[in-house]
Structure 1
Amino acid sequence: MNKINPLGVHWLVLTKTWDSDGARHAIREAKRIGYDFIETPPTPVGDEVTEVTRQLLAETGMGAAVCLGLSADQDLTSPDPEIRARGEAFLMGAVDTCARIGGSLVSGITYSAFQKYMLPCPADGRTASIAAIARVARHAKSLGITIGLEVVNRYETNLLNTAEQALAFCNETGMENVKIHLDSYHMNIEETDIQQAILKAGDRIGFFHIGDSNRGYLGAGNIDFNPFIRALFQAGYTGPISFESFSSTMIDQPLLGILGIWRDTWEDGKDLAEHSFTFMEALVKSGREAHRRALGRVA
């Protein structure tokens, strides 16, 4: 993903299953629409679908990011060392898969379980997660892979709910290839000042998700995306921007329950993906122009 602000799409917009047929369909559709990369799940490195994904990405010239959420039995903040070890091993495998398919980023809820917690994260849980992410990042660095920490709302983790928390976590890993993954859907819930949060995260931002408040069509919710985009450009962000959306037409349990998707937010993934690409392309163009004019670079 060498292009400035390459645009991507999550695989669950275009296919319900990431098997060989699903991967072929999603990658080819994303390419046809105009996306620069696709978010894929962390399939085992030796699986047939991983090889199909690698071949299709090479054939189409598409980039890739491997995105995930750790399960309860992979929680890096757990007091159980066996659970933490499973989570770390899973992340190491995701890094290997990302390298195998030619991707550049492993991101998502990589630092804790993707679930609702009933208690705050204890200090020793946070410390254990930082240490594990640092080890994963060292392996990733040897393969040219970046590790992202997705900042999500309080109902999906008890550890990183704000950009400020993620920035401190990143710094404590001591690894420059650990980056902050921001998401408009989650920031709309948790941040006091969205623009200041983005500016403070600055050059530690490595990935940005665009999603509306209802997780449906961009512009059909209540989020004003202009402040997000303008702040990203003000912060000098040149990295990937991706569309993520979920509907009960496309996902099943346990993801359905974790996300709380109780209705069809959309029915036609192809139409949604086409609309979202057009929306993002226009948003990025207008944001760049606004930033250029704010700097006085008017022709």
Structure 2
Amino acid sequence: MIIGAHGLVFTGTFDEAGLRRAIEGTKQAGFDLIEIPLMDAEGFDSALAGRMLRDNDLGVTASLGLTPATDLTSEDPAVVAAGVAMLERCLHHVATMGGDVLCGVIYSAMGKYPAPATSRGIDNSRQAISGLAAKAAERGIRLSLEVVNRYESNVFNTGRGALRFLEGVTGDVSVHLDTYHMNIEESDFFQPVHDVAAAGRLGYVHIGDSHRGYLGTGTVDFATFFRALGDVGYDGPVVFESFSSAVVSAELSNTLGIWRNLWQDSDDLAAHANRYIRDAVHAVQTIDLH
């Protein structure tokens, strides 16, 4: 497995100073990879980020959540086109940085919808993702669709829902599981991993506890989850994700629903998460000795 950290663990801005803080902090904490959120795809300097990543010998992926103005499930062709254009820019950034994954809520807007997704909206998203997958493949990049809870998308909220969505998608597109969202929507932490892996679609993993604080202090059943990853032989990215308004801006805190802070020290949190994940993976590996 490739153990990583989300850039928002360290900073809420990704200008030169923010990139340096996030990249160097991720490396110092002992991670292999950083996931950079492309919140400002227009202004992001991916060439600079690429140089910093190479200087720190750190792998990279990128993520984002679409907005109502770029929602691929919109019934307005102009909005869908804007979403496709945004994601094409993001593919350029991923390629320039030397990454090979673009993930997140890239199939709909990220936010609470007032009604279920329409059939036409689902079709629009499937067609757009299929086209983007082909363009991504030309750059050696694959897309991974994050399964989020009902308050962040109305398209799908479980691993099986993601698989049903992908039945109408062509290209190399995988499913991105997140333990924080699984804790809300799934029946357990074992079966979804097996379902998605059996379909050949498990491509990306986020690790976050139920309250987005220190790992192991919430209600997520990490022992079962890591056992499932071991069972299916998953060897892709496993990325720690946690948010605090001590680090990110007030505007982003509101978007992410950070109404209370469970940590203040990014470096301590990240070092703890790196140890926790690696210890959990090692513990599963020792089962072969039983």
Q: State the match for 1:141 in structure 2.
A: 137
1:37 paired with 2:20, answer no
Cα displacement string for residues 125-159 of structure 1 (whole angstroms, at most 9, x for unaligned residues): 11110100000000000011010100000000111
Shift of 1:25: 1.8
Q: State the match for 1:76 in structure 2.
A: 72
- Tell me which amino acid in the other structure corresponds to 2:126: I
1:194 paired with 2:184, answer no
2: CA distance, partners of 1:251 / 1:159: 27
SS where residue 143 of structure 2 aligns? strand
1: CA distance, partners of 2:113 / 2:27: 38
2: CA distance, partners of 1:78 / 1:94: 20
The percentage of counterpart residues that share the same residue type is: 41
- Tell me which amino acid in the other structure corresponds to 1:139: K
Shift of 1:255: 3.2
Relative to 1, partners in 2 of residues 1:11 and 1:95: Cα closer, same or farther, differing over 3 Å?
Answer: same
Which residues in structure 2 correspond to 1:156-175 (within 5 Å)? 156-175=152-171
Task: Decide whether the 8 Å contact of 1:116 with 1:154 is kept in 2.
Answer: yes
Q: State the match for 1:205 in structure 2.
A: 202
Which residues in structure 2 correspond to 1:174-185 (within 5 Å)? 174-175=170-171, 177-185=172-180
Which residues in structure 2 correspond to 1:215-254 (within 5 Å)? 215-254=212-251
Identify the range of structure 1 (83-92 vs 163-172) with the bigger mean alpha-carbon deviation: 163-172
SS where residue 22 of structure 1 aligns? helix
Unaligned runs of 5+ in 2: none
SS where residue 282 of structure 1 aligns? helix
- Tell me which amino acid in the other structure corresponds to 1:99: A
Q: State the match for 1:126 in structure 2.
A: 122
Relative to 1, partners in 2 of residues 1:289 and 1:170: Cα closer, same or farther, differing over 3 Å?
Answer: farther
SS where residue 148 of structure 1 aligns? strand
Identify the range of structure 1 (254-263 vs 72-81) with the bigger mean alpha-carbon deviation: 254-263
Shift of 1:288: 2.3
4+ aligned runs moved over 6 Å, structure 1: 43-46
Shift of 1:250: 2.0
Specify which of 259, 264, 267 is matched with residue 261 of structure 2.
Answer: 264
Shift of 1:45: 7.3
Relative to 1, partners in 2 of residues 1:12 and 1:168: Cα closer, same or farther, differing over 3 Å?
Answer: same
Q: State the match for 1:18 in structure 2.
A: 14
Relative to 1, partners in 2 of residues 1:45 and 1:156: Cα closer, same or farther, differing over 3 Å?
Answer: closer
Shift of 1:251: 2.4
Cα displacement string for residues 6-64 of structure 1 (whole angstroms, at most 9, x for unaligned residues): 10001011123111011012111211221111011227778573222110111222110
Shift of 1:254: 4.2
2: CA distance, partners of 1:81 / 1:254: 29
Q: State the match for 1:99 in structure 2.
A: 95
Task: Decide whether the 8 Å contact of 2:12 with 2:252 is kept in 1.
Answer: no
- Tell me which amino acid in the other structure corresponds to 1:30: T
Matched pairs, number: 288
SS where residue 167 of structure 2 aligns? helix
Give the TM-score taking structure 2 as reference length: 0.95
RMSD: 1.6
- Tell me which amino acid in the other structure corresponds to 1:140: A
Q: State the match for 2:63 in structure 1.
A: 67
Task: Decide whether the 8 Å contact of 1:65 with 1:103 is kept in 2.
Answer: yes
